[in-house]
């Protein structure tokens, strides 16, 4: 097939003429000669908007961050410990005080672990499955919330 693209020197792109347009079922940029950075921008536009209300050192909060990194998802990390306004916003949006809370495309997921965030993202087809492991435990409590072992004493 002969290349019938017309160069667009203003943006450094070549756009297809009507005779060479890809079928509607293909992505519109499939036959364009587009630099990689523009394709990355197009890919980023399809990612969900995520606001995560997290504690700086909490195991569950670290699990949420690990899942968002695993899928390379951009997100706003709102510190609910050092910023009382962020904590208040989380409480108002979620209707409860437990954390972490993650808002995905306007839907609030309250008191959630990294595992549950991943399950939500996969079930709603917001990410595609990957075999890449998370870089931190995804369902672990905060260190101060882990009960200490105490010796058991039995009576005779």
pLDDT in tens, 25-43: 455 544 555 555 544 444 4
CATH number, span 50-127: 3.40.30.10
Q: What is the mean pLDDT of residues 110-137?
A: 96
What residues contact residue 43 under an 8 Å CB cut-off, 6+ apart?
none
Supply the mean pLDDT for the chain: 79
How would residue 97 be classed by pLDDT, with cut points 50, 70 and 90?
A: very high
Phi and psi for 76 in degrees, rounded to 5?
A: -95, 120
Amino acid 75: pLDDT: 98
Phi and psi for 51 in degrees, rounded to 5?
A: -120, 120
Provide the residue ranges of all domains of the chain, joining segments of one domain with +: 50-127
pLDDT in tens, 50-93: 999 999 999 999 999 999 999 999 999 999 999 999 999 999 99
Q: What is the mean pLDDT of residues 123-141?
A: 94
Lowest mean pLDDT among 7-11, 78-82, 144-148: 7-11
* DSSP tag of 50: E
CA 4 and chain centroid, separation: 39
- Say if residue 149's pLDDT is above 60: no
- Say if residue 153's pLDDT is above 80: no
In whole angstroms, what is the distance from residue 103 CA to residue 117 CA? Answer: 10
Q: What is the CA radius of gyration of the chain?
A: 23
In whole angstroms, what is the distance from residue 83 CA to residue 76 CA? Answer: 14
Q: What is the mean pLDDT of residues 4-12?
A: 43
Q: What is the DSSP string of 92-155?
A: HHHSS--S-EEEETTEEE-S--HHHHHHHHHHTTSS----PPPSS-SS---GGGSPPP------
């Amino acid at each position: 097939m002969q290349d019938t693209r017309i160069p667009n020197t203003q943006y450094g792109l070549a756009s297809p003429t009507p005779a060479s347009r890809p079928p509607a079922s293909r992505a519109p940029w499939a036959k364009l000669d587009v630099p990689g950075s523009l394709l990355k921008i197009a890919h980023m536009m399809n990612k969900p908007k995520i606001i995560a209300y997290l504690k700086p050192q909490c195991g569950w909060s670290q699990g949420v961050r690990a899942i968002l990194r695993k899928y390379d998802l951009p997100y706003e990390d709102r510190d609910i410990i050092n910023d009382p306004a962020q904590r208040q916003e989380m409480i108002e949006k979620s209707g409860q005080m437990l954390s972490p809370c993650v808002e995905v495309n306007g839907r609030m997921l309250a008191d959630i672990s990294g595992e549950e965030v991943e399950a939500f993202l996969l079930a709603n087809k917001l990410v595609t499955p990957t075999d890449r492991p998370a870089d931190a435990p995804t369902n672990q409590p905060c260190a101060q919330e882990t009960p200490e072992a105490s010796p058991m004493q039995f009576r005779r």
